[in-house]
Amino acid sequence: MRARSIGAAAATALALVAARDLVQKKHALLRNFPVIGHARYLLETIGPELRQYVVTSNEEERPFSRDQRTWIYASAKEENNYFGFGTDVDVEHVQGHAYVKQRTFAGTLPDLHDPQAPLPSAKVLGGPRGRAKAFRPASVVNISAMSFGSLSGAAITALNKGAALAGAMQNTGEGGLSPYHRNGGDLVLQIGTSYFGCRNEDGTFSLDKLKDVVAGAPVKAIEIKLSQGAKPGLGGMLPGAKVTPEIAEIRGIPAGEDCASPSRHTAFHDVDSMLDFVELIATETGLPVGIKSAVGEMSFWEELAMLMARGDRGVDFVTIDGGEGGTGAAPLIFTDSVSLPFRMGFSRVYSTFAEQGLTDDLTFIGSGKLGLPENAAVAFALGVDMINVAREAMLSIGCIQAQKCHTDKCPTGIATQNPWLVRGVDAPSKATRAAVYLRTLRKELLKVSGAVGVAHPALITTTDIEIMNGDYDARTLASVYGYKDGWGELGPELTQEITALLSTEPTPPQKPAS
C-alpha cells in the first residue's frame, strides 16, 4: 500500500513537472521534451565534475590538471608526492613544455633533503633605494593577493597562519587588512584603486589612514595594484552576495551590493605622478613600495624604466601577473584574451629594465600558476626573484577546483561568505597544510637548482631550460624570448652574496683570545 502511495506521488510530481514544462516559454528544449529535457541541464551543471573525475586524462584538465592537483594535495598533506612508471606527458610533441638540463658536476650545494632548508630572496627588498625598513625576504615563495571578501575569513586565517609557520609573507589583496590577516604572518599590504582601508569618505586615498594601518600590523612592504591577471584594465568586482556587513565595515562600502573597484587610480594619472606617489608612501612609512600589473601595451614600462634610470625615483619591486586568469571573477573575454600570458609578459618587462641596466636594482616577483615546480623554475630562469602563489595555496587548504569562486557557493568554504559552507574550513589544520605546501615547493626548487648545479633557483639561467617548439625540436628560453647574454641572471655581487648565504660549509672554529 505504501509503495503504491509513493508511486502515485512520484507520478503526480512528474505530471506536474511535465505540465509546467509544456506551458513555459523560457526553454524550447523543455517544451519539446518535457521532464526528460531536464537531464540535459543536469549534465551541463555537473559537466566540470564529470570531466574532472571521469573523462579527462591526468594532463588534460585546465586550469590545473589532475596530476598538478595531486602533487599539490600530496605535498600539503606530507604524503608521497612522487609519480611512478613514467610521465603522462607526450614529451617529444607537447608544444611549450619545459625541459630542465641537469649538469653532471656542481659546486657546493645546500642540503637538498632538509625539509626546513631556508630559501631566502637573493635580493634585499628596498635595499638599492635605501628604504628605512628594507629587508631580505626569508622565503622566495609567498602567498599572493587574495582579499578577505573574495576568500572567507577562515581561509584567510589558515593562509596567514600557514605563512607564519613557513616563514613566508601573505599579500592582503586590495580588500584591506582584516582581523583574519592578524594571525602571525608577515604582510604585504596591497593598495587598489578603491583604497580600501586607507580611503576618505569620498573614496580618495588617505595617507594618514594608510600610516595608521601600517603602524598597527606586521606590514613589511606595500604593493600598488595597477591591474591583475584575471581582469586587467577592468578593475575589481566583489559580487553583492559576498559583501557581508563585516566586509562592508572593513572596506567602507554598503552591505549586500556589488563592490566595483575603478579600473584606474585617482591618486596619480601617469608614470611621473605614480613615481611621486611611490616615493611619498616610501618616505612616510619607510617601507619598500612596488607595483603589481598584468602586461599589455609596453609604453608604460618603457617610460617607467627610462625615468628610473635617472636614479632619483623608482619602485622597489615589480609584481607581474599572467593574463591567464586567476582567483578573481571576470568576464570570459578578459580571462581568455586580455593581457599577455605570464612568460610573454614578464620577459618583455624584464627586457625593458635590462636594456636600462636596472635589473639588479629592483626585485621581480612573478604570479600566475607559478606554484608548480616546472613553471617556477622557468620563471626564475627568466629573471624572477620571488614567486607568489594564489590558486595553488587555495588547493593546499582544500580547494577542489569547482570553479564556483564567483557564485558564493564554493563547496569547500574557501571562496565564499556563506556561514554554513565556511564552517568546513578548519583553520588550524589547514594552516599546517598551507605551510607544508610552501616548504615543499621551496624544497623542490632547491632540488631543481641542485640538478642544474647551482645553489639557488635565482641562479638558473635561460640556457639551462629549453622549451618544446614543435615535434622533436626545442629552443632555449634565451632564444624563445630574445634574451641577450647575461639577461635573467644576477650580477656577480648578488650571485656571490646568495651563494655564501646558502653555503653548507661549516664556519671554521674561532681561536680563543689569548
Q: State the span(s) of the chain assigned CATH 3.20.20.70.
A: 116-449
Number of other residues whose CB lies within 10 A of the CB of residue 134:
17
What band does 508 get if pLDDT is binned at 50, 70 and 90? very low
433 touches 368 (CB < 8 A):
no
| Higher pLDDT among residues 106 and 173, named by residue | 173
Q: Which helix (H) or strand (E) holds 319?
A: strand 317-321
Number of alpha carbons in the 13 Å side-chain half-sphere of residue 69: 21
441 phi and psi, to 5 degrees?
A: -65, -40
pLDDT digits (tens, 9 = 90+) for 185-206: 999 999 999 999 898 888 899 9
Residues 380 and 481: their CA atoms lie apart, in Å, by 14
- What number is the average pLDDT over the span 49-63? 63
Cα radius of gyration (the chain): 25
Q: Is the pLDDT of residue 424 over 90?
A: no
Q: Which residue is it, cell 650571485?
A: 495
Contact indicator for 464, 456 with CB cutoff of 8 Å:
no
Q: Is 4 helix (H, G, I), strand (E, B) or coil?
A: helix
37 grid coordinates: 529535457
Q: What pLDDT, on a 0 to 100 scale, did the predictor assign at position 509?
A: 43
Is residue 175 within 8 A of residue 238, CB to CB? The reply is yes
Read off the C-alpha cell for 89. 606527458
Average pLDDT over residues 284-305: 96
Please name the helix (run of DSSP H) or strand (run of DSSP E) that holds residue 420, with its range, or none.
helix 419-422
Q: Which three cell numbers stand for residue 463?
A: 640556457
CATH 2.50.20.10 fits 116-449, yes or no: no
Specify the pTM: 0.87
pLDDT in tens, 425-480: 889 999 999 999 999 999 999 999 999 999 999 999 999 999 988 777 889 999 99
Closest CA to 106 of 372, 446, 439: 446
Q: Is residue 61 over pLDDT 60?
A: yes
Each residue's pLDDT tens digit, 156-186: 999 999 999 999 999 999 989 999 999 999 9
pLDDT for the residue numbered 183: 96
Residue with the three cell numbers 638558473? 460
**How does strand 169-171 pair with strand 259-260?**
unpaired
Report d(CA 141, CA 86) in Å as an integer.
28
pLDDT tens digits, 330-343: 677 777 778 899 99
Residue 114 pLDDT exceeds 50:
yes
Longest distance between any two alpha carbons in the chain, whole Å: 104
Strand partners, 468: 474
**CB of 130 closer than 8 Å to CB of 119:** no
pLDDT > 60? residue 60:
yes
Tens digit of each residue's pLDDT (9 = 90 or more) over 211-252? 999 999 999 999 999 986 455 556 666 677 777 788 888 887
Grid coordinates representing 150 are 573574495
Q: Tell me the residue length of the chain.
A: 514
The mean per-residue pLDDT over the stretch 137-157 comes to 94
Rounded CA-CA distance 475/1 in Å is: 75
Confidence of residue 51 (pLDDT cuts 50, 70, 90): low
Amino acid at 455: A
Residue range 15-22: average pLDDT?
Answer: 87
Query: Looking at residue 327, what is its pLDDT?
Result: 57
For residue range 332-377, list pLDDT tens digits in order. Answer: 777 777 889 999 999 999 999 999 999 999 999 999 899 999 999 9
Query: Which 3-state string (H, E, C) describes 54-100?
Result: HHCCCCCCCCCCHHHHHHHHHHHCCCCCCCCCCCCCCCCCCCCCEEE
Cell matching residue 124: 634585499
**Minimal CA–CA distance to 61: which of 81, 82, 75, 47?**
47
Distance CA 394, CA 145 (A): 12
**Contact present, 192 and 174 (Cβ < 8 Å):** yes
Cα 496 to chain centroid, rounded: 29
- Residue 260, pLDDT score: 73
- For residue 353, give the amino acid letter: F
Work out the mean pLDDT of the chain and round it to a whole number: 87
**pLDDT of the residue at 375:** 95
Contact assessment for residue 77 and residue 436, using Cβ atoms and an 8 Å cutoff = yes
pLDDT score at 510: 45
Burial environment of residue 158 by CB neighbours within 10 A (0 to 12, 13 to 18, 19 or more) = buried
Beta-bridge partners for 499: none
Helix (H, G, I), strand (E, B) or coil at 466: strand
Give the whole-angstrom CA distance, residue 168 versus residue 164: 6
Q: How far is CA 428 from the centre of its chain?
A: 22
Sign of torsion over alpha carbons 489, 493, 494, 498: positive
Q: How do residues 71-93 score in pLDDT, each as one tens digit?
A: 898 899 888 888 877 777 777 77
Name beta bridge partners: 142. 388
- Residue 511 confidence (pLDDT): 42
